[in-house]
Amino acid sequence: MNAIELSVFASRMASICDEMGAVLKCAAFSPNIKDRLDFSCALFDADGLLSAQAAHIPVHLGSMAYAMADIVSAVEWREDDMLVVNDPYLGGTHLPDVTVIAPVFCAGRLVGFAANRAHHANIGAASPGSMPISRHLEEEGEIIPPTPLVIKGVPVEAVLARLCGTDPKATHTIQARGDFAAQISACRLGVERLQAQVSALGIAPYSAALTALNNYAERLARAALAEIPAGRYCYTDYMDDDGLGQRDIAITVSITVTGDAVNVDFTGTAEQVPGNINCPLSVAAAASFYVLRCLMPEQTPACAGTFRPIAISAPEGSLVNARRPAAVAAGNVETSTRMVDVMLGALAAALPERIPAASTGSMNNIAMGANATTGSERWDYYETNGGGMGAGQHGGGWSGVQTHMTNTLNTPIESLEKHYPVRVTRYQLRPGSGGAGQRAGGDGLLREYEFLAPAQVTLLTERRRYAPWGLAGGQAGECGENRLNGELLPGKIALHVTAGDRLTLASAGGGGWGKPQR
């Protein structure tokens, strides 16, 4: 296969993932998926190794790339079937991220898989939004081991009823069923498109093309990693707290560069904590893949070969390689983001001209809704909020953006207010919250919610105590803060609100780069 043929092959594979994403977006019912785009799509080979992915969410995609081989090897696959899974300790991230996997057969032979992962605002936790201040995994919702969702092309009603509820008129049931139907449809599209691709090439030439693509990606990856000076680079940063009394929780990384290979070791990181900022090793892998992929050429294919030169390890029972049944709801969103900062801090010593300062350092999660305790029909809503991007030598940080491990959008105010009893009274940048420097860090966001009915709210936020650091003499960004009716709140809290209450979430600014000019 020559270079042009390989490029066309890679583009065709990626385009299948893009089309899967378009189907999922357009067919989904919940604002969380159709508006915020909290989903990811990818293709895998018959062994569960990554073949292609869309430019969706790094924490979804990296964790799937790391763990899919273990998932698919434990199942006897049949044509026209699909599985659903969300178990964080079986390659997932946290329970709301639900993965649907479809095998792809051609001429009776298993040739690959189409998969998508999407965030469900209600996955069965008692707390609306299914992002509680939890101590154990079981408190966070329905744990789904690999379970048949579609058999011989027909959705399994018993599974859907368990996951979505049985009241056909309830809003949460309608949204959940719509979202699962969208995930199934996206997988069906992926199966059809990949079957067409394999049939056009033939099974053996298709396999050879995948091998060539992986080898090409590995060459690009190794060439990029070889540009990092050989050595061992270490850094430690701290999580604010776990929401249950533990504070100043260390994440430590040692990045060892040897020739064109990199070892990422999280030894020295704190032990797992009672609160829900723990995460499985698949999330640590996703953060590591993301940071090192950012150092590679833009044209590097997203496939298994890209990550062959990267080894990842973390002590079992640590914050970033927790043991079941540790709570993990916020590990996927908050700890993953801090791992990126820690790795960037380490690599800044090796590549000072390429590494930016710390960004907002939190997905600034807010989950809200109502259930029987509030005396109204159940509704669930969840969103993340952006902040300031860290500045680098070649440009100032962007303001009010989602950074690093999340790649979602904000929910448009019109959509939020249409679907739920909430009014957004302020949505603006926080001027001056970015760190000063030769290149200033980006400013954070301020978003204020007025509740029109009683509700339960959970906040899972970071960088409320430890500010995003600057580099090369740049100043730190301003910490974020949360307030209810003007009163300061902790970074992680569950609370009840009444009609008329106003909740303000202000995210951190990014760190500056270079000494400020006078």
Q: According to the 3-state scheme, what is the secondary structure of 479-500?
A: CCEEEECCEEECCEEEEEECCC
Q: Give the residue-averaged pLDDT of 386-404.
A: 94
Q: How far is CA 124 from CA 136, 165, 316, 446, in A?
A: 14, 9, 28, 30
Task: Please report which confidence band the pLDDT of residue 371 belongs to, taking 50, 70 and 90 as the band edges.
Answer: confident
- Domain ends where: 218, 244, 269? 218
Q: Give the residue-averaged pLDDT of 203-224.
A: 97
Residue 485, phi-psi category: left (phi > 0), alpha (psi -120 to 50), beta (remainder): left
Residue 432, phi-psi category: left (phi > 0), alpha (psi -120 to 50), beta (remainder): left
At 56 the pLDDT is 82
Name the token pair of 393.
Answer: 């030598």
Report cis status (omega within 30 of 0) of the bond before 58: no
- 140 pLDDT exceeds 80? yes
Domain annotation covers residue 213: yes
Number of structural domains in the chain? 2
- 376 pLDDT exceeds 80? no
Domain annotation covers residue 212: yes
CA distance 26 to 459: 29
Task: Please report which confidence band the pLDDT of residue 374 belongs to, taking 50, 70 and 90 as the band edges.
Answer: low
What mean pLDDT, rounded, does the chain reach?
95
Name the token pair of 340.
Answer: 């990126």
At 303 the pLDDT is 94
Owning domain of residue 419: 356-518
Asked whether 373 and 456 are in contact (CB, 8 A), the reply is: yes
- 322 pLDDT exceeds 90? yes
Q: Give the residue-averaged pLDDT of 16-29.
A: 97
Strands in 295-444 per DSSP E: 310-313, 365-370, 379-383, 422-429
What values do phi and psi take at 373, rounded to 5? -70, -25
Q: Give the residue-averaged pLDDT of 408-429.
A: 94
- Domain ends where: 218, 253, 288? 218
Q: Give the residue-averaged pLDDT of 340-360.
A: 97
Eight-state DSSP code of residue 386: -
Q: In 154-230, which residue ranges form alpha helices assigned H by DSSP?
A: 157-164, 171-201, 203-225
CA distance 63 to 98: 13
At 247 the pLDDT is 97
Eight-state DSSP code of residue 439: B
At 60 the pLDDT is 86
At 59 the pLDDT is 87
Task: Please report which confidence band the pLDDT of residue 57 belongs to, taking 50, 70 and 90 as the band edges.
Answer: confident
Task: Please report which confidence band the pLDDT of residue 297 belongs to, taking 50, 70 and 90 as the band edges.
Answer: very high
- Domain ends where: 198, 218, 238? 218
Strand partners, 176: none
Residue count (the chain): 518
In the chain, the amino acid numbered 414 is E
Q: Give the residue-averaged pLDDT of 360-382.
A: 88
Domain annotation covers residue 107: yes
Nearest partner of 407 among 251, 506, 290, judged by Cα = 290
- 14 pLDDT exceeds 90? yes
Name the token pair of 87.
Answer: 């178990």
Domain annotation covers residue 293: no
3-state secondary structure string, 32-78? HHHCCCCEEEEEEECCCCEEEECCCCHHHHHHHHHHHHHHHHCCCCC
- 372 pLDDT exceeds 70? no
- 348 pLDDT exceeds 80? yes
Write the pLDDT tens digit of every residue in 154-200: 999 999 999 998 888 888 899 999 999 999 999 999 999 999 999 99
H or E element in which residue 86 lies: none
Domain annotation covers residue 468: yes
At 375 the pLDDT is 62
Domain annotation covers residue 228: no
For residue 479, the tally of other CB atoms under 10 A from its CB is 21
Asked whether 303 and 293 are in contact (CB, 8 A), the reply is: no
Q: Give the residue-averaged pLDDT of 26-32.
A: 95
Name the token pair of 446.
Answer: 């301020």
- 453 pLDDT exceeds 70? yes
Q: Give the residue-averaged pLDDT of 300-325.
A: 96
Residue found under tokens 């090369």: 472
Q: Could you give the 3-state DSSP secondary structure of residue 259? A: coil
Domain annotation covers residue 302: no
- 290 pLDDT exceeds 90? yes
Domain annotation covers residue 350: no
